[in-house]
Amino acid sequence: MGLKEKKASTIQYVAIFGFADASENDELFKSVRAVTKELAEAGYIVVDGGGPGVMRAATIGAKEGGGKVIGVTLYSEEIPDFEGRDPKNLFDQEVRTTNYVERTLALMRSGQVYVIFNGGTGTISEFGMAWGLAKLYFGHHKPLILYGKFWENIINVFKENMLLRPQELKVYKIVTSPEEVLDAIQAFENELEKGAHNNEMGTESGYSL
């Protein structure tokens, strides 16, 4: 099956999250670049935070795949340690925000599926919000794709120590390759369309924030 044939019919925008300090020589940077290249080749539009690291890797990969990128940027003088807008991140369309919460919500709103790579506390906060929203809107939620085998250990710790509901374990898939990302998006769409999550997924799938 060719990449073009694997594009989900009702999902168009894929948001990417991960470590802002990843360098071009890091395996993480290369993995993100490979994933977004295949996403773009399959016809998806990539959404990232417009900054460096994983965000810039996402844009580079999407451009290599002939795709378009939306950058959700934050301009704030009140957060001196925040990486902000990366001039080397050459996305196509910019969504400007003025505070961190607004930016996170804009990223959640813009993506229909979230691919979450390794990262620090910023990535943890984004993962937590995406996971919490998926539980709250279960059945017409926006799925999570967790990239990397290390996620198995993290999820297992949550299962062993936290009070999770069954549906919270159905809104994500753990993958380890670009091909599995495409497969996961298609699988999520099929599950939602067939009512496997107690609802149908329309062209305006997910929720507004």
pLDDT tens by residue, 30-83: 999 999 999 999 999 999 999 999 999 999 999 999 999 999 998 876 766 666
Q: Helix or strand or coil: residue 89?
A: coil
pLDDT tens by residue, 157-184: 999 999 999 999 999 999 999 999 999 9
Cα–Cα distance measured from residue 200 to residue 181, given in angstroms and rounded to the nearest whole number: 21
Q: Please classify residue 155 by burial: count the beta carbons closer than 10 Å to its beta carbon, then call 0-12 exposed, 13-18 middle and 19+ buried.
A: middle
Distances in Å between the alpha carbon of 205 and those of 45, 55, 111, 142?
16, 24, 10, 7
Q: Chain-wide mean pLDDT for the chain? A: 90
Assess contact for 19 and 43: CB atoms under 8 A: no
Find the range with the poorest average confidence among 46-60, 85-99, 117-131. 85-99
Cα–Cα distance measured from residue 3 to residue 7, given in angstroms and rounded to the nearest whole number: 7
Cα–Cα distance measured from residue 205 to residue 183, given in angstroms and rounded to the nearest whole number: 18
Strands (E), the chain: 13-17, 45-48, 69-74, 93-97, 113-116, 144-147, 172-175
Which CATH architecture describes the domain 11-111+119-193? 3-Layer(aba) Sandwich (3.40)
Average pLDDT over residues 19-30: 97
Average pLDDT over residues 83-104: 90
